[in-house]
Amino acid sequence: MKRRLVITTEIISPYRIPVFNVLAEHPNVDLHVIFLAETDSSMRQWKVYKDEIRFSYEVLPHWRRRVAGYNLLLNRGVASALERARPDVIVCGGYGYLASWQVLGWARRHKRPVLLWSESNQQDQRRGMPHVEMLKRRFIGACSGFVVPGKSAAAYVETFGVPRDRIFVAPNAVDNAFFSDQASAARSRATEMRRQLGLPERYLLYVGRLIFSKGVFDLMEAYSSLAPELRARSELLFVGDGVEQSALEARAAAIHPGKVRFAGFAHREQLAVYYALADALIFPTHTDPWGLVVNEAMACSIPIVATDAGGCVVDLVQDGWNGYVVPARAPDQLAEALAKVVSSPDLNATMGARSAQRIEQNSPQACAAGFVAAVNAVEVKTT
């Protein structure tokens, strides 16, 4: 039986479009997506690839401000959008927006099941505020089931007393084929691509926002502590922007030998080139619900050096197999992993191939299948 599924989520993220496209094609799902905003320019400069959207959607009227470090997003028309959409099942992306509570209220009045789509994990530094935890427990208690991206998020939901059979894994995914194809094309024109982007022969790559919680200063410290001969072999490249860029540039100026470059923000087409020609992706985060840059890099067949604080790491990175896992906030141990990468180009190639092999399990198709499983389970329980 076909179910009318409505997903409410924050913005039109480029990496969600392939998942929703696949989900919309499923014979048992009639999909409609309600976005709370088109994008968030204060956080990221993502393009909105509307020409690739093949599912029914709408964007609600909204008002957004940054208040005391919090992202405040208010919407109009939540209830009327749900009335028009007439959902059988609602998947609510998170509990941190007023719109999420409006969705929950509408669902309760209309006796519709709500599935919470949550990426939170036990390493998330945003946890711990008593009033937030109280509201979170209330929201979780009102949900019929839970959709999570991987093991860390599933374990976190279980800490609220949720039975395992109400938790469904929809593995976080990017368009693997796009990144793989773009990476192959970049490698076939490696000399030209390096010249166009000013890339060195070898480099360690960071992709993401340049903010303290992403571990960027740990990475700078780890790179600067490498033996001089290792820094001379491989540079450090930051792709992204953020408030800490000036401070990072000041520290980079004191490093010699070796070189640190800042390429600025890059869209996905250019990102695939940076990934493809790198020795490894470095993911030094202190806290991260997932980390989709890891998916992207693995689809481009490179190894990963990550801290254990990233939500994706337990699912995607196996220490010594397709990269290295180190504790968060441990620059010395991060430096040891960087030294292994710089010293072992042949092993990097082997690890990169393993990354590509492993990320096949985190495809848009696998993610969509997780959503369908959750919807089907709710249907059984509510008939």
Which pLDDT value is given to residue 129?
66
324: number of Cβ within 10 Å = 23
Mean pLDDT of the chain: 94
pLDDT of 132 reads 77
**Smallest Cα–Cα separation from 276: which of 265, 287, 285, 268?**
268
Identify whether the C-beta of residue 173 lies closer than 8 Å to the C-beta of residue 363: yes
Residue 74 bridge partners (DSSP): 63
Contact call for residues 235 and 260 (beta carbons, < 8 A): yes
Question: In this structure, what are the phi and psi dihedrals at residue 120, rounded to the nearest 5 degrees?
Answer: -60, 145
How far separated are the first and last CA of the chain, in Å rounded? Answer: 12
Number of residues written out for the chain: 383
Beta strands of 216-286 (E only): which ranges?
235-239, 260-264, 280-283
Cβ–Cβ under 8 Å, residues 218 and 329: yes
Do residues 76 and 102 make contact, with C-beta atoms less than 8 angstroms apart? no
Residues of the chain predicted below pLDDT 50: 380-383
Decide: 71 and 40 in contact? Cβ < 8 Å.
Answer: yes
Instruction: Please give the pLDDT value at position 235.
Output: 98
The pair of three-digit structure tokens given for residue 97, joined into one six-digit string: 């927006």
Q: What's the sign of the alpha-carbon dihedral 179, 13, 90, 143?
A: positive
Confidence (pLDDT) at 122: 81
Q: How high is the pLDDT of residue 146? A: 98
Domains by residue range for the chain, with CATH = 3-173+363-382 (3.40.50.2000), 176-359 (3.40.50.2000)
Identify the pLDDT of residue 383. Answer: 40
Q: What is the pLDDT of residues 196-242, one digit of tens each?
A: 999 999 999 999 999 999 999 999 999 999 999 999 999 999 999 99
| Closest of 167, 169, 171 to residue 157, by C-alpha | 167
Look up residue 362 and give its DSSP letter: S
d(CA 364, CA 361): 9
- Tell me the whole-structure pTM to 2 decimals: 0.94
Nearest-10 Cα torsion for 5, 368, 16, 119 = 90
- pLDDT at residue number 380: 43
